[in-house]
A and B are shown apart, each in its own frame.
Chain A
Amino acid sequence: MEIGLVELSRLQFGMTALYHFLFVPLTLGLSILVAIMETVYVMTNRPIWRQMTKFWGTLFGINFVLGVATGITMEFQFGMNWSYYSHYVGDIFGAPLAMEGLMAFFMEATFVGLFFFGWDKLSKVGHLVITWLVAIGSNFSALWILIANGWMANPVGAEFNPETMRMEMTSFFEVVFNEVAQAKFVHTVSAGYVTASLFVLGVSAFYLLKGRHTDLARRSIAVASAFGLASALSVVVLGDESGYSASQTQKMKLASIEAMWETEAAPASFTLVGLPNMEDRETHYAIHIPWVMGLIGTRSFDTEIAGINELVAENEGRVRMGIIAYDALMEIREARAAGEEIPSQAKFRFEQNSDDLGYAFLLKRYVEDPRDATEAQIAQAADDTIPYVPTLFWAFRIMVGLGMSFILITAYFFWRTSFRRMTYPKWSLYAAVGFIPLPWIAAEMGWLVAEVGRQPWTVDGMLPTALSASYLTVGDLLFTLFGFALFYTVLFVIEVKLMIKYIKIGPTQDVDSTIAWQERHVGRLSTRRNQSPLAEPAE
Chain B
Amino acid sequence: MIMHELINYETLRVLWWGLLGVLLIAFALTDGFDMGVGALLPFVAKTDLERRVVINTVGPVWEGNQVWFILGGGAIFAAWPPLYAVAFSGLYLAMFMILAALIVRPVAFKYRSKREDPKWRTRWDWALFAGGAVPALLFGVAVGNVLLGVPFRLTQDLLSIYEGGMIMKLVGLLRPFALLAGVVSFSMLLMHGAAWLTLKTEGLVQQRARSIGVKAGMIAAAGYALAGLWLAVGVDGYSFVNEVALDGPSNPLFNEVAREGSWLSAYAERPWIALAPIMGFVGIALAVLGLKAGREVSTLLWSKMGILGIVSSVGLTMFPFILPSSIDPTSSLTVWDASSSHLTLFVMLICTAIFLPLILMYTAWVYRVLWGKVTEEDVNENAETLY
Residues of A within 8 A of B (CB): 61-62, 65-66, 68-73, 75-76, 78-81, 83-84, 86-87, 90-95, 97-103, 105-107, 109-114, 116-119, 121-122, 161, 163-166, 168-172, 333, 470-473, 475-476, 479-480, 483, 487, 491, 494, 498, 501-502, 508-509
A163 touches B249 (CB 8 A): yes
> Provided the pairs A107-B362, A163-B251, A169-B347 are in contact, do residues A65 and B74 lie with their beta carbons within 8 angstroms?
no
Binary interface encoding of chain B residues 156-185 relative to chain A, with 1 for a CB under 8 A from any of its CBs, else 0: 111111100110010000000000000000
A81 contacts which chain B residues (CB < 8 A)? 89
Instruction: Say whether B222 faces chain A, with CB atoms less than 8 Å apart.
Output: no
Selected contact of B106 from candidates A65, A73, A86, CB within 8 Å? A65
> Provided the pairs A75-B70, A83-B89, A98-B78 are in contact, do residues A168 and B385 lie with their beta carbons within 8 angstroms?
no
CA distance A172 to B249 in the complex (A): 20
Interface positions, chain B 87-116, Cβ under 8 Å from A, are 87-89, 92-93, 95-96, 99-100, 102-107, 109-111, 114-115
Of the A-B pairs whose beta carbons lie under 8 Å apart in the complex, a sample of 13, sorted by A's number, is A65-B107, A75-B74, A100-B74, A105-B70, A110-B64, A110-B359, A116-B60, A168-B344, A171-B1, A471-B162, A475-B166, A476-B93, A483-B96
Selected contact of A87 from candidates B71, B73, B160, CB within 8 Å? B160
B64 touches A109 (CB 8 A): yes
Binary interface encoding of chain B residues 60-78 relative to chain A, with 1 for a CB under 8 A from any of its CBs, else 0: 1111101101110111111
The DSSP consensus for interface residues of chain B is: helix
Q: A98-B78, A483-B96, A494-B107 are in contact. List 20 more A-B contacts (CB 8 A).
A: A78-B77, A79-B84, A79-B85, A79-B89, A80-B89, A83-B86, A86-B88, A98-B74, A103-B351, A105-B67, A110-B363, A113-B61, A169-B343, A170-B343, A476-B92, A479-B96, A487-B100, A487-B103, A498-B111, A502-B114
B70 touches A86 (CB 8 A): no
CA distance A19 to B92 in the complex (A): 21
B84 touches A94 (CB 8 A): yes
B352 → chain A, closest Cβ, in Å? Answer: 6
Closest to A81 in B: B89
B93 touches A102 (CB 8 A): no
Instruction: Say whether B2 faces chain A, with CB atoms less than 8 Å apart.
Output: no
CA distance A99 to B162 in the complex (A): 30
A117 contacts which chain B residues (CB < 8 A)? 59-60, 370, 385-386
B95 touches A80 (CB 8 A): yes
A98 touches B75 (CB 8 A): yes
Instruction: Say whether B348 faces chain A, with CB atoms less than 8 Å apart.
Output: yes
Instruction: Say whether B366 faces chain A, with CB atoms less than 8 Å apart.
Output: yes
Instruction: Say whether B201 faces chain A, with CB atoms less than 8 Å apart.
Output: no
B67 touches A86 (CB 8 A): no
A80 contacts which chain B residues (CB < 8 A)? 88-89, 92, 95-96
B343 → chain A, closest Cβ, in Å? Answer: 5
A119 contacts which chain B residues (CB < 8 A)? 385
Closest to A89 in B: B81
> Provided the pairs A69-B106, A79-B89, A80-B95 are in contact, do residues A112 and B77 lie with their beta carbons within 8 angstroms?
no
CA distance A328 to B357 in the complex (A): 46
CA distance A84 to B158 in the complex (A): 8
Closest to B160 in A: A83
B369 touches A61 (CB 8 A): no
Interface positions, chain B 23-81, Cβ under 8 Å from A, are 59-64, 66-67, 69-71, 73-79, 81
A76 touches B95 (CB 8 A): yes
B113 → chain A, closest Cβ, in Å? Answer: 11
Interface positions, chain B 310-359, Cβ under 8 Å from A, are 340-341, 343-344, 347-348, 351-352, 355-356, 359
> Provided the pairs A80-B92, A161-B341 are in contact, do residues A99 and B351 lie with their beta carbons within 8 angstroms?
yes
A70 touches B103 (CB 8 A): yes
> Provided the pairs A100-B74, A117-B370 are in contact, do residues A94 and B356 lie with their beta carbons within 8 angstroms?
no
B93 touches A101 (CB 8 A): no
B359 → chain A, closest Cβ, in Å? Answer: 5
Instruction: Say whether B303 faces chain A, with CB atoms less than 8 Å apart.
Output: no
A101 contacts which chain B residues (CB < 8 A)? 67, 70-71, 73-75
A87 contacts which chain B residues (CB < 8 A)? 81-82, 85, 158-160
Selected contact of B159 from candidates A71, A84, A168, CB within 8 Å? A84
> Provided the pairs A80-B92, A90-B84, A498-B111 are in contact, do residues A114 and B60 lie with their beta carbons within 8 angstroms?
yes
B355 touches A102 (CB 8 A): yes
Closest to A107 in B: B362
> Provided the pairs A69-B106, A79-B88, A94-B78 are in contact, do residues A471 and B159 lie with their beta carbons within 8 angstroms?
yes
Binary interface encoding of chain B residues 223-250 relative to chain A, with 1 for a CB under 8 A from any of its CBs, else 0: 0000000000000000000000000011
CA distance A98 to B71 in the complex (A): 6
B99 touches A83 (CB 8 A): no
B77 touches A79 (CB 8 A): yes
Selected contact of B340 from candidates A94, A111, A501, CB within 8 Å? A94
B111 → chain A, closest Cβ, in Å? Answer: 6
CA distance A163 to B370 in the complex (A): 51
Selected contact of B74 from candidates A91, A97, A107, A122, CB within 8 Å? A97
Closest to A475 in B: B166
B79 touches A94 (CB 8 A): yes
CA distance A479 to B100 in the complex (A): 13
B73 contacts which chain A residues (CB < 8 A)? 75-76, 79, 97, 101
Q: List the 10 shortest-distance A-B pairs measured between CB atoms, nearest first.
A: A90-B81, A79-B88, A113-B60, A94-B77, A94-B78, A110-B64, A101-B71, A98-B74, A83-B89, A470-B89
B341 contacts which chain A residues (CB < 8 A)? 91, 161, 164, 168-169
A89 → chain B, closest Cβ, in Å? Answer: 8
CA distance A75 to B156 in the complex (A): 27
B67 touches A106 (CB 8 A): yes
Closest to B154 in A: A87
A95 touches B348 (CB 8 A): yes
A476 touches B166 (CB 8 A): yes
Closest to B345 in A: A91
B344 touches A91 (CB 8 A): yes
B106 touches A68 (CB 8 A): yes
Among A92, A113, A475, A498, the one with the most B-chain Cβ atoms within 10 Å of its Cβ is: A113
A112 contacts which chain B residues (CB < 8 A)? 63
A73 touches B103 (CB 8 A): yes
A137 → chain B, closest Cβ, in Å? Answer: 10
A471 touches B161 (CB 8 A): yes
B85 contacts which chain A residues (CB < 8 A)? 79, 83-84, 86-87, 90
B82 contacts which chain A residues (CB < 8 A)? 87, 90
Instruction: Say whether B384 faces chain A, with CB atoms less than 8 Å apart.
Output: yes
Closest to A480 in B: B96
Selected contact of B362 from candidates A69, A110, A333, A501, CB within 8 Å? A110
A207 → chain B, closest Cβ, in Å? Answer: 20
B110 touches A86 (CB 8 A): no
A472 → chain B, closest Cβ, in Å? Answer: 6
B139 → chain A, closest Cβ, in Å? Answer: 13
B106 touches A164 (CB 8 A): no
Selected contact of B169 from candidates A100, A168, A476, CB within 8 Å? A476
B160 contacts which chain A residues (CB < 8 A)? 83-84, 87, 470-471
A11 → chain B, closest Cβ, in Å? Answer: 16
CA distance A68 to B102 in the complex (A): 10
